[in-house]
Structure 1
Amino acid sequence: MAGERITAVIVDDHTAIAAGVRYWCERAIPPIDVIDAQAQMANVWTGPGGRADVVVFDLELVPKNPAFGELRRLVDNGRRVVVYSQHADTATVLKCINLGALAYLAKTEGPEHLVPAIHAAADGRAYTPPSLGGVLAADDDPSRPRLSLRESEVLRAWFASSSKDLVAAKLNISVKTVDTHIERVRVKYANVGRAARTKSELVARALHDGLITLVELDEMMDPDS
C-alpha cells in the first residue's frame, strides 16, 4: 500500500458514526478515503465499496443479532475487516477475531485507535487496541498457546533485536537457551494449529494474540527511544 491512497468502506446503520469515521479518516496521515455503504451489504460488494482496501464493519446490521455470517463471508472472500461495534463482551470479541477480523474496536475507542487499525488492515496486519488487548490477555481459548513468562520475555527481546546474540547478552543467557525458548514457542503454536516458522510469522502471531502491541513493537525498533 506504500504510496497509494487507502480506501475503506464503512457499513453501519448510524449515519453519525459513518460521518464521524469519515471526518477522522480524511484528517489522518496518510489520509483514508471513506465510502459509506449506508448499512447495505450490497454496497460492500459492488461499486467503489467492492474495491475498498478495508471494510469497517458494524455487527449490528440486524438489531440484537450480531452479523457473524456476514463477517465470515467477508473474510472468506479475502476482505480485510476491522470490526467497529458497541458490543464489548468477551465471547463476541473473540468470535470476531477467530473468524478472521484483523481488529476489533469498541465504539468508545476513537480515532487514535480506529485510524491505525485501518492503516494496519490495509497492509494485511492485525491491530490490537486496549479493549482487545484486555480480552486476549484474559482469554482461555485453547487455540491460543500459553507461553511462560520467560518465553514471552525472550520472544519480545528477539523482536527488538537484530540477532539472537544480542538477546542472549541482554538477558544474560546463552544463545542456545534463546534458541530453546524460541523453539518451544514455535512448537506451542504448531500444537494449536497455528504454525509460525519464521520470525515475521511469530511477530504476526504475537500481535494477533495481544502478546505485544504495534506501538510497543515500533518503540522497540526505534533506535532513539
Structure 2
Amino acid sequence: MSRAPSVAVIDDHETVRLGLKMAAIDAGYDFVLAASNLDEFERERGDREIDVTVLDLSLGDGSQVTDNVKRVQATGSAVLVHSIADRVALVREALAAGAAGVIPKASATSQVMAAVATVAQGNVLNNLEWASAIDADPEFTRASLGRREQEVLHLYASGLPLKAVAEQLGIGVSTAREYLDRVRAKYIEVGRPAPTKVELLRRAVEDGILPRSNDDRV
C-alpha cells in the first residue's frame, strides 16, 4: 500500500478507543473514527473508506461476534480482532466469520499498529493467538482435500500465479484451475468459503497446508 492505511476502532471502553486513536495518529495512519458499537460505527462512518477496523472481540451491548465481523466487512473494511487471550471459542468464531487476524489486548500499541499495517496490505495475521484458537478445535481446520488439490492450493496460496503452479506440477493451466475450483467448492461445503486468494491463504494456514508461525510477535 503506497499510502498510509485508514483505521477505525470499535470498542466499548473509552480508554481503549483513545489509546488506539493516539497510537494510529502517532504511526502516521489516517484515523477515521472510534465507536463504542456497530450502530455508532455505521452512523459515523458515512461514505468514508476504512482499510482496517480494530474490533473488540466482545462488546458490552450483547451483539454477536459473527454479526459484528460481517457488518464491518460489509463496509469494505478488513477486520482485526482485539481480544482477551482466554476467549478461544469467540476467537474461532471471529476467524470463521472472516476476520483477518487476532491481536491480544495485552499487546503494546506498537504491535497493534504493526498488525494493522499487515492487514492493510491484504495479508492475514499469522500469529500465536490465531494458531492457538485453531489448534484448540480440530473440527475447525479440516476440509477433505486430495493430494493434488493440496499441492495446487499450497503453491497458489504461497503466491504463485496459476500458470506457474501448472508448470511446476507438470499439468495444464485448465487442469490447475479445475483443481482450484474443486478446492473452493470443498471449502464452501464445510462452511468456510474462500473466494479470494487471501482467503485461500487463510484456509491453507488453518489446515496445515502452509506452515503457521509459532512466534507470538507480529
Q: What is the letter of the counterpart of residue 6 of structure 2?
A: T
- CA deviations 1:29-59 (Å, max 9, x no partner) are xx31334535254441234576251321113
RMSD, aligned α-carbons: 4.1
Q: C-alpha separation between the residues in 2 aligned to 1:157 and 1:71?
A: 29
Q: C-alpha separation between the residues in 2 aligned to 1:139 and 1:180?
A: 33
How much does 1:26 deviate?
Answer: 3.1
Q: C-alpha separation between the residues in 2 aligned to 1:129 and 1:80?
A: 17
Contact 1:12/1:38 (8 A) holds in 2: yes
Within-5 A mapping of 1:1-225 = 2-28=1-27, 31-35=28-32, 37-47=34-44, 51-53=48-50, 54-62=52-60, 65=62, 67-68=64-65, 69-86=67-84, 88-111=86-109, 113-141=111-139, 144-146=142-144, 155-157=153-155, 159=158, 163-164=164-165, 167=168, 175-176=170-171, 186-193=181-188, 194=193, 201-202=196-197, 204-208=199-203, 210-211=205-206, 212=210
How much does 1:24 deviate?
Answer: 3.4
TM-score by length of 2: 0.65
Identity %: 21
How much does 1:153 deviate?
Answer: 6.5
Unaligned 5+ runs, structure 2: 214-218
Secondary structure of 1:108's match?
Answer: coil
Corresponding residue of 2:216: none
- Identify if the C-alpha distance between structure 1 residues 142 and 87 changes in structure 2 by more than 3 Å, giving closer, same or farther: closer
- CA deviations 1:136-159 (Å, max 9, x no partner) are 345434675255788657754553
How much does 1:11 deviate?
Answer: 1.9
- Identify if the C-alpha distance between structure 1 residues 135 and 42 changes in structure 2 by more than 3 Å, giving closer, same or farther: closer
Bigger Rg, which one: 1
- Identify if the C-alpha distance between structure 1 residues 124 and 195 changes in structure 2 by more than 3 Å, giving closer, same or farther: closer
Contact 2:57/2:90 (8 A) holds in 1: no
- Identify if the C-alpha distance between structure 1 residues 66 and 146 changes in structure 2 by more than 3 Å, giving closer, same or farther: farther
Secondary structure of 2:138's match?
Answer: coil
Q: C-alpha separation between the residues in 2 aligned to 1:213 and 1:25?
A: 30
Contact 1:103/1:128 (8 A) holds in 2: yes
Taking CA–CA contacts closer than 8 Å with sequence separation of 6 or more, which of the two structures ends up with the larger relative contact order?
2
Contact 1:83/1:105 (8 A) holds in 2: yes
Corresponding residue of 1:221: none
- Identify if the C-alpha distance between structure 1 residues 91 and 40 changes in structure 2 by more than 3 Å, giving closer, same or farther: closer
